[in-house]
Amino acid sequence: MPLFKRKPFDLAKPPEDLEPSDLVYQVRFTKEIFRDYQEYLNRINLYRQRVWMCKSTGKSNLTYEEAMVMEKNAIQKVQQLPNDLVAPALRIIQFSMLSLRDLADLVTKKLQKDLFVGAELYGKKDDGLYPCRVLKIVENGVGKMQYEVALLGENKKITENAILHGEDLVWKKTPFNRKILKSFIRESTCRSIPWVLHEKLAQKHGISTDLPEELRSKFFLQGGQLVNRTKKRKNENRNNVGEANGESGKSKRNKGETGKPDASKEENNQPEDEPVKYPIDDLLVKPGPDDPLFTDRPSPSRDFNVPMDCIGDLLMVWDFCSSFSRVLNLWPFSLEDFENAICHKDSNLVLIVETHSALLRILIKDDGEYSLALQNKKRKSKISLITWTEYVCDFLEMINVTELCSCMTTIKRGHYGLLDANAKLGILRELVCHALETDLIRGKLDDLIEQRRALGATVRGEALEYARKKREEKEQLKGESNGLEVKENSMESTGSNPHMAENGEENGDMVEEVISSRQSNAFVNSRKQLNGQSKRGEKQKLDLKVEAENITNSNEKEAQKQLTGEKKEDQEKKSKEKREQRKEYFKREMEKRSIRTNPLGKDRDYNRYWWFRRDGRIFVESSDSKQWGYYCAKEEVDALMSSLNPKGERERALQQQLEKFYPRISLELQKRSKDLAQKIALEEAVLRRSTRVRAPPRENPANAFLKYVNKWKED
């Protein structure tokens, strides 16, 4: 059975007191039976998650059904292992302490030496290598094994028999490989390192289940299971310490400042549950005390005009026609108009005729199967309001779908409008599927992909350029700060007043001249005194002058800094605004070149949420695609977002997508609400008129689809 998070998973037991007439739900691949649909749905959703692991191959990230199929195929391959090699392989596996890979390599090496009856190999004879088959194992008295083999010719016919030694035989192709052996080891054992065979399997092949002496010091058998002695001692010591202290180690850590254990933790020395790392699977999320107050999820509206089982086709056809309207030369129309046109009983409704004609023209231009069929019938390439049904019938004959071919009689009689919505949308769905395969649509898709790539490259280039400029500015600022530091250090080393050094040099020269003249000592002393007084006076004057210059310079620098700072702030604001504008521009351009519409996400029950930019509503699709609904008011979207639990993986992703597109969604919904209010007001105005002057049906806003005109129609 597949493993759930590397652990065995128990299937649900059948309900008790089940009567043959009871209605139940059964899982196809596990045969589980449920009475409650919600339980059945939860179990199916769990099986669809990629959290399962194949027990035989060890491959993970699979659904339950994928793991089960893989396990079945692996078991079939394992059963192909020759019976003569099973027992020797099991003897090597029993109580081995090697890893799975090393054990598989060891078994492969040892089994390649063991030959068995029926093995096909190559035998060396007369300096040649011939294909042969082992017929009998012969023992000689020397202790070496000899084998009686049959040499094979063409079509594996026996040409002659011979007796060869073991070293003269070479495997043609080993009947096993490492992958098969790994699956064989997993299937044969109930425990790993040491690997222990299933008890019944060991008894069947006569393999001992007694522990070897080298393992008895580490393990022992208890209740038919192998127990690790060291782990058991640690658990016993931990329990003894907890009993002696009256509390477990984890309960000590949960004490508050008062020294008493936390009342919220479990009593009786039970270990504390490990904290859960969110987000996790939505079905595993449990309500917590720190959860915010989630609102009730609003029920979506289901007032569709077409049947519920064809809403998906309606949305698909409309989205395709809207996305490729330029290529189809089809003037865009709203989803409501398209839905009303599908339900209308008029056989030559312009919106329906133009939609079919645009799709058929794409098939004709492709020069494919449909174009050849028209050439054989000698049809004209121009589709008109009168002949469009003939082209539709030719298309139905080409695809030969039984359900749709039954509608051909009604269409040929000119009663297309009498077809039910399922048949109309079925024909359009097939037309869209064939149109998607044409060179014209594929070429358009290729162009859109190239344009998106070019836009992406431009965005990345601008981001790199902006990062480069920022880096250069930082390096420039760093260099300027280093230069200022060097200048300040040099000023400190030479003194605060540069004129002092010049005066000192001049006075020193004067003293040297006086000394060189060898005047009297009195004259020298008087000269020194006079020089000292003049020095002090000049020093004071220069200090005052330097201080005044420093003050004026500092004020000028501060004013300059303020001006430059303001300029920089203005420049940064402008550059930031430009970057935001560029981002918005690239977003809009990317959206114009959208290739397909993807769902916004899923909720905890796997319901999908769709948002079409050309409609504004948020559609809700059930997990089985049988139920559809929609939200058409901003308040409903707000309530939906408030009901999502971000602890779940799916609802967290859905909430992020809704927040991302919330401004546009709310704007579209508000616009839709205004349009609906105007339509209702116009309808009421029409109803209030007297019967004599009442407006004709085409002027009623509800019948706007009747006034559709294809402004992009080909001439």
Cβ atoms within 10 Å of 553's Cβ, excluding its own = 10
**Residue 453: inside a domain:** no
Please give the average per-residue pLDDT across 570-578, as a whole number: 79
Angle (nearest 5°) at CA 395 between 391 and 398: 140
Residues 603 and 668 in one domain: yes
User: Per-residue pLDDT tens for 544-556?
Assistant: 566 666 666 666 6
Residues 61 and 97 in one domain: no
Which range has the worst mean pLDDT, 47-51, 53-57, 653-657?
53-57
Is the predicted pLDDT of residue 23 greater than 60, yes or no?
yes
Is the predicted pLDDT of residue 701 greater than 70, yes or no?
no
Predicted confidence band of residue 85 (pLDDT cuts 50, 70, 90): confident
Please give the average per-residue pLDDT across 646-657, as a whole number: 93
Query: What pLDDT score does 432 carry?
Result: 94
CB-based burial label for 357 (10 Å; 0-12, 13-18, 19+): buried
Residues 12 and 101 in one domain: no
468 is written with which tokens? 């480069």
**Residue 400: inside a domain:** yes
Residues 61 and 197 in one domain: no
Q: Is the dihedral of CA 362, 392, 324, 610 positive or negative?
A: negative
User: Per-residue pLDDT tens for 529-541?
Assistant: 545 555 555 555 5
Which range has the worst mean pLDDT, 80-84, 262-266, 474-478?
262-266
562 against 586, higher pLDDT = 586
DSSP per-residue letters across 583-618: HHHHHHHHHHT-------EE-TT--EEEE-TTT--E
Phi, psi of 85 (to 5 degrees): -100, -10
Which range has the worst mean pLDDT, 173-177, 259-263, 463-467, 670-674?
259-263
**Residue 492: inside a domain:** no
Strand partners, 169: 123
Q: Identify the top-confidence range among 97-111, 121-135, 327-341, 527-541.
A: 327-341
Q: Which residues contact 636 (CB under 8 A, 6 or more apart)?
A: 298, 300
Please give the average per-residue pLDDT across 671-697, as a whole number: 65
Q: Which residues contact 686 (CB under 8 A, 6 or more apart)?
A: 694, 695, 699, 700
pTM (2 decimals)? 0.53
614 is written with which tokens? 């050309």
Query: What pLDDT score does 335 carry?
Result: 93
Predicted confidence band of residue 403 (pLDDT cuts 50, 70, 90): confident
Q: Can you tell me which residue has the tokens 């850590």?
A: 253
Residue span of the structural domain in which 24 resides:
2-78
Is the predicted pLDDT of residue 518 greater than 50, yes or no?
no
- Give the CA distances from residue 554 to residues 92, 425, 547, in Å, rounded to whole numbers and listed in that order: 89, 81, 10
Q: Is the dihedral of CA 229, 230, 235, 237 positive or negative?
A: positive
500 is written with which tokens? 């002092």
H-only helix segments in 160-263 = 178-188, 199-204, 213-216, 229-245, 249-253
Is the predicted pLDDT of residue 358 greater than 90, yes or no?
yes
Is the predicted pLDDT of residue 497 greater than 50, yes or no?
no
**Residue 653: inside a domain:** yes
- Give the CA distances from residue 382 to residues 332, 347, 405, 446, in Å, rounded to whole numbers and listed in that order: 22, 19, 24, 28
244 is written with which tokens? 């002696």
Please give the average per-residue pLDDT across 233-238, as a whole number: 62
Predicted confidence band of residue 390 (pLDDT cuts 50, 70, 90): very high
Is the predicted pLDDT of residue 168 greater than 60, yes or no?
yes
Nearest to 710 by CA among 179, 275, 352: 352
Residues 24 and 67 in one domain: yes
Q: Can you tell me which residue has the tokens 């409650």?
A: 36
**Residue 61: inside a domain:** yes
**Residue 559: inside a domain:** no
DSSP per-residue letters across 363-396: HHHTTSHHHHHHHHTT--S---TTTHHHHHHHHH
Instruction: Spell out a b/e string for 221-231, using b for 16 or more CB atoms within 10 Å of the CB, else e.
Output: eeeeebeeeee
Please give the average per-residue pLDDT across 367-390, as a whole number: 87
666 is written with which tokens? 């709310």
Number of structural domains found in the chain: 4
Residues 100 and 49 in one domain: no
Which range has the worst mean pLDDT, 154-163, 450-459, 577-586, 596-605?
154-163
CB 45 within 8 A of CB 605: yes
72 against 85, higher pLDDT = 72
Q: What percent of the chain has pLDDT over 70?
A: 74
3-state secondary structure (DSSP) of residue 94:
coil
Please give the average per-residue pLDDT across 567-576, as a whole number: 77
**Residue 213: inside a domain:** yes
Residues 616 and 655 in one domain: yes
Is the predicted pLDDT of residue 145 greater than 90, yes or no?
no
